[in-house]
Amino acid sequence: RDRPLFVTWDIDVFDPSEAPSTGTVARGGFTLREGLHLAEQIAKTGLLVGFDLVEVNPKIGSKEDVEKTMDTACFIIEALLDGIITALIRPSVLFIGGENLIISISFSMSKD
C-alpha cells in the first residue's frame, strides 16, 4: 500500500548496552545494527512523512550512559532522514534547563 507512514520510535526497544538512559530497559532488545537496519528499511519505502523518537531520559545513568543513548538516538534519526531524499529539513535542538534535550525535526514532502 502507498499510505504515508508516521513512526514513533521508543528508544527502550534497544538493549541497555545500546541505550541505557531510558525509563524501561529491554534486556535482549535490539542491537544498534538491528535498529539501524529497521530504520533504513522504513526510510527506503519512500512513504515516511514524519517520526518522533521518545523515552530518552538524560536524568538516568551516568554521563557516559546519556551520551551512549543520545548517540543511538542520533544514529536512528539520521537513518530515517537519509531515506527522505526530497525532504526539506529544518532541524532544531533546544536545551531546557541544561538537563532536558528536545530534538524537533520538521520537513515537507513533495510528490512528483
- Phi and psi, residue 61, nearest 5°: 90, 180
SS3 12: helix
H-type helices in the chain, by residue range? 32-44, 63-82
pLDDT confidence of residue 49: 82
pLDDT confidence of residue 26: 86
pLDDT confidence of residue 1: 67
SS3 70: helix
74 Cβ contact list (under 8 Å, min separation 6): none
Mean pLDDT per 10-residue interval, the chain, length 112 residues: 85 95 91 95 85 92 95 93 56 45 48 46
Q: What is the pTM of this model?
A: 0.74
